[in-house]
Chain A
Amino acid sequence: MTAERNVWIFIEQEEGHIAEVSLELLAKGREIADQLKSEAWAVLCGSQIGSLAEQVIQYGADRVLLAEHPELEMYRTLPYCRVIASMARQYKPYIFLIGATPVGRDLAPRVASALKVGLTADCTDLQIGDYHARKENTVYPDLLYQIRPAFGGNVIATIVNPKTRPQMATVREGVMRRGEPDPQRKGKIVNVKVAFEPGDLALQVLSRERREPTVRLKDSPVIVAAGAGVDSPEEFELVRQLANVLGGEVGASRAAVDAGYISREHQIGQTGSTVRPRLYIAAGISGAIQHRAGMDQSSKIIAINTDPNAPIFQIAHYKIVGDVAEVLPMLIKALREKAK
């Protein structure tokens, strides 16, 4: 076999349900594997979850590494890390993608540390390209460009792992788009031998509760989002009212979440949800790149801000320089009148 450049995708599942982000990454991983003329492999761990393997193949995997064991039934860091790191040592993937969920953010750094490889968190784009290391006068062909906003203003950084394999990256749900399952797709299922060391089972899960999300920002056609410029409960109520009149959801920038007006579930941006609604109204949001990364693909953007130079205006289709406390009531009133 020639040097393989396989792309691995970690399939997060709980009680037999595959996480949405894993399906999205399968689509992206498939695309990258095609570009590299290699294969997309899915890593699936759990207990009695073999039936999911076919589903994973339909969504784009060429091969499923299936690790089944009663100790893998519920996610725990150490048993999962043991199994995944040993698979990676055996099969040597080129790229390894993991969803940036609470599970992924717990697992990925542990695996990266065990394998002594680089990891980039919360990528907003992944591409394949060459890396010219000028200092070494070397070209590394076909590396994974791990693209994410960098702290420091209007800046996007492209990060590469020239020397370590796999090249690991995490991506939030909603950043990539999932494909349609193809029932005709064929793939191979490989049963992986699972072996633990005594220390791997040091942690016990006594109980686990999951709440259903109270908001589905990703699916909402209209989002009214509040930022730091919305700075009283009364103004926040206006944001809710406008969302209500439009039949949309309420979103928020990180500043509004940190201010305590709304729960983190509503946060839009690189470290929150990525959305592509038909209409996005940014109320009092300055438009830091981390926020824009989560909403700049909205079809129409209306921005309201007192600062005429706020970066959000540069991506807005409609620019309203004004105070949210005055503009939001006008929008609500105009919409109510049109509805009559």
Chain B
Amino acid sequence: MSLNRSYHSVVLVKQVPDTRKVSGEVMTDEGTMNRSALPAIFNPEDLNALEMALRIKEKYGGEVTVLTMGPLQAAEVLREALFRGADRVVLISDRKFAGADTQATSYTLKCAVDKLGKYDLVFCGRQAIDGDTAQVGPQVAEKLGIPQITYAESIIDLHDDVITVERAFDLGNELVRCHLPCLLTVVSSANRPRPASAKKRIAYKMAAIPSEVPKLLKKWTEFEDEHTLSDYLQARKLNIEVWTATDLDVDEAGLGLAGSPTQVYKVNYVVLETSASKEIQPTPEGIQALIAELIQEYIVG
């Protein structure tokens, strides 16, 4: 029995449009949202998940690997993870993954975690702000065949292969104990995620996926060509790995839109009727008349 064992954590993160920044400017004339006008950010609760994993590494040693599934632009959140202290990051990206619902997403992520090999803990944010489903975490845990601890707020104890976790809900708390490996989904009250470290930001500023090399070359003109730059990145471990469907041991029928049991049948634009609305002037007289009307109609009494 070794009391000083270290832990290998895997953190599953997502790049999401910042739905908190929805304003008139991002709405189209038809009233739909111009999704690309919203800034793409690190899903907030995934930062809490990363923070929890980093603290375990700092306390017990071990490694933190961050995985994200998404388009090539999602490499940005992986750089953010490196700036905060992740040891290894992998982008899981392929056109075949497009259109995945939570079932197909969790299947793809499961295959990616399998490819990493040994792990002790898997962390996810409780939910992503673009869909709020909170489904992917439990579905990855089920597919990996490991227990899940959702709504994790703090790790009370971790020794050998046993973890004790406090779960937090709106209306209560729960203390649970479980064997490793297991998956935790982390709530925002768990911790205050650290900002990017200035030192790491410098160290990893060139971290890139292969398709970003041409863009990088324009910025770093001292490199002769893409080849020399690629070699440089490779030598300094600044190349962010990209795994496609062929890199994973997957059944392609389970991927993307085709592997998604849910289908969007239709999307309806909600037409609101404006006729019923009565305009009240924001003056003392206007407001007094409104209150009088509400009292008369027994709405206020």
Identify the A interface with B (CB < 8 A): 77-78, 81, 102, 105-106, 108-110, 112-114, 116-122, 131, 133, 145-146, 150-164, 199, 202-213, 222, 246, 255, 258, 263-265, 270-271, 278-279, 288-289, 299-300, 302, 304, 307, 309, 311, 313-323, 326-327, 330-331, 333-335, 337-338
Contact = CB atoms under 8 A, between A and B. Distances in A.
B102 A119 contact: yes
A161 B101 CA distance: 11
A118 B294 CA distance: 46
B32 A153 contact: yes
A114 B103 CA distance: 10
Given A204-B178, A255-B20, A319 B287 contact: no
Interface in B128-142: 130-139, 141-142
Nearest to A145: B265
A112 B103 contact: yes
Contacts of A311: 31, 272
B287 A330 contact: yes
B299 A204 contact: no
Given A309-B24, A327-B282, A114 B299 contact: no
A203 B178 contact: yes
B173 interface: yes
A268 B292 CA distance: 28
A246 B290 CA distance: 14
Contacts of B207: none
B300 A246 contact: yes
A210 B171 contact: yes
Interface stretch (B148-156, B224-232, B240-248): B148-156
Contacts of B203: none
Interface residues of B, number: 81
A151 B19 contact: yes
B179 to A, nearest CB: 5
Contacts of A109: 102, 133-139, 142
Interface string B80-123: 00000000000000000000011100100000000000000000
Given A114-B142, A158-B265, A316 B277 contact: yes
15 contacts: A102-B150, A102-B170, A112-B135, A117-B261, A122-B133, A153-B27, A203-B176, A213-B171, A271-B132, A300-B294, A314-B274, A320-B282, A327-B287, A331-B287, A334-B284
Contacts of B295: 338
B268 A161 contact: no
A288 B33 CA distance: 11
Contact of B265 (A131, A155, A213): A131
B191 interface: no
B265 A78 contact: no
Contacts of B234: none
B177 interface: yes
B35 A152 contact: yes
Closest 10 CB pairs of A and B: A322-B282, A118-B261, A314-B272, A118-B262, A113-B142, A153-B33, A109-B135, A109-B138, A121-B133, A113-B139
Nearest to B291: A334
Given A106-B138, A153-B31, A317 B276 contact: yes
B31 A105 contact: no
B3 interface: no
Interface string B233-270: 00000000000000000000000000011111111111
Nearest to B136: A109
Given A113-B138, A152-B33, A153-B32, A106 B267 contact: no
Nearest to A164: B261
A258 B171 contact: no
Given A110-B141, A153-B27, A154-B269, A206 B263 contact: no
Given A156-B268, A157-B266, A334-B287, A203 B147 contact: yes
B280 interface: yes
Contact of A264 (B102, B170, B286): B170
A258 B20 contact: yes
A146 B262 CA distance: 10
Contact of B131 (A151, A202, A319): A151
Contacts of B270: 154-156, 289
A113 B143 contact: yes
A292 to B, nearest CB: 8
A32 B278 CA distance: 38
B172 A77 contact: no
B288 interface: yes
B175 interface: yes
A224 to B, nearest CB: 12
Nearest to A165: B261
B22 interface: yes
B223 interface: no
Contacts of B132: 121-122, 270-271
A302 B299 CA distance: 12
Contacts of B150: 77, 102, 105-106
B176 A204 contact: yes
B143 A156 contact: no
B222 interface: no
A161 B261 contact: yes
